[in-house]
Amino acid sequence: MVNKIQYQKSSSIKLFIGLIISAFIAIGVNAQTVDKTRQLDLLVRLDHAKSMIQSEDYTESQRILHGVLTQLRDERKAVFSQFFPKGNAASATGLDDVSHHAHSLDPLSDDSLDILFSAQYSDTNNDHQYSVDINMVRNDPEIDEIAMVIQKPSLIETLDTVAIVKIQDRYTGVEEYYSEEKYHEINLILEEKVLLNIVANGIVDRQHLLKFCDQIQLDDLVRELN
């Protein structure tokens, strides 16, 4: 009986460690970017959760871990949002910063698709309403397909609506533009594992989206993903 109890405690601690490792992997944020005070707070709360697991108070440990994951989600949102246009930079492209989103972190999920960050911008000109949506996704199945198109541009030579595009003279992506539908999409692959999907709806001039892309701090974003 004693051995069984010890085994259960050992298994619980292993589960706890797995949860935390998964949580920090899931956040996708460089630890150096997180304020040291908040980092210490996270560690204290994790230590408390460990104590609750050791005392077999799984309900309380789950509550603590849920709070930690919520904070990690907020940290991730704050870190990634700084690399995208806001304030005057967004206004310069004719857009208002509407909302940023950081999707929930679920380290126990079997879904390998991880939406790191998403945001939506809308226009400031009521005469030409349009919006720009950003989604940054890790392990997206489309990454391989887009990478193949970038490596072999001949695959899209016969397509009038798809082309290879260069952003900030350094990053190569795939662009789709449908003038009648006023739909414009650009996909970039960052660090071979993250898809940056940028979609404009209601856009009249494709230069608007290209100008928006120039405002993204791509070099800093890539360094953060390393």
Asked whether residue 62 falls in the same domain as residue 122, the answer is no
146 lies in the same domain as 205: yes
Q: Give the model's pLDDT for residue 108.
A: 42
- 3 state SS of 19: helix
Mark whether 137 and 73 lie in a shared domain.
Answer: no
One domain for residues 126 and 44? no
DSSP-derived letter for residue 43 is H
Residue 76 sits in the same domain as residue 117: no
For residues 25 and 154, what is the distance between their CA atoms, to the nearest angstrom?
37
Domain match, 144 and 204 both = yes
Q: What is the pLDDT of residue 130?
A: 78
Which amino acid does the sequence have at 219?
D
**Higher local confidence (pLDDT), 187 or 206:** 187
Of 80, 104, 126, the domain-final residue: 80
Output the pLDDT for position 83. 93
Pair (17, 67) in one structural domain:
yes
92, 179: one domain? yes
What was the pLDDT predicted at 21?
52
Q: pLDDT tens digits, residue range 51-98?
A: 888 888 888 888 888 888 888 888 888 889 899 987 655 555 556 555
Last residue of a domain, one of 53, 80, 107: 80
CA distance 194 to 167: 16
167-205 burial string, b = 16+ CB within 10 Å, else e? Answer: beeebebbbbbeeeebebbbbbbbeeebbbbbbbeebee
Domain tally, the chain: 2
219 — pLDDT class (breaks 50, 70, 90): very high
Shared domain for 72 and 94, answered yes or no, is no
Please write the tens of the pLDDT for every residue from 17-35: 555 555 554 455 554 555 6
> 95 and 65 share a domain?
no
Mean pLDDT, residues 125-136 taken together? 78
For residues 203 and 209, give the distance between their C-alpha atoms in angstroms, rounded to a whole number.
8
Q: What mean pLDDT comes out for the span 193-220?
A: 89
72 shares its domain with 125: no
| Domain final position from 19, 46, 80 | 80
Structural domain of residue 30, as residue ranges? Answer: 2-80
**Residue 63 sits in the same domain as residue 109:** no
What CA–CA distance (Å, rounded) separates 178 from 162?
9
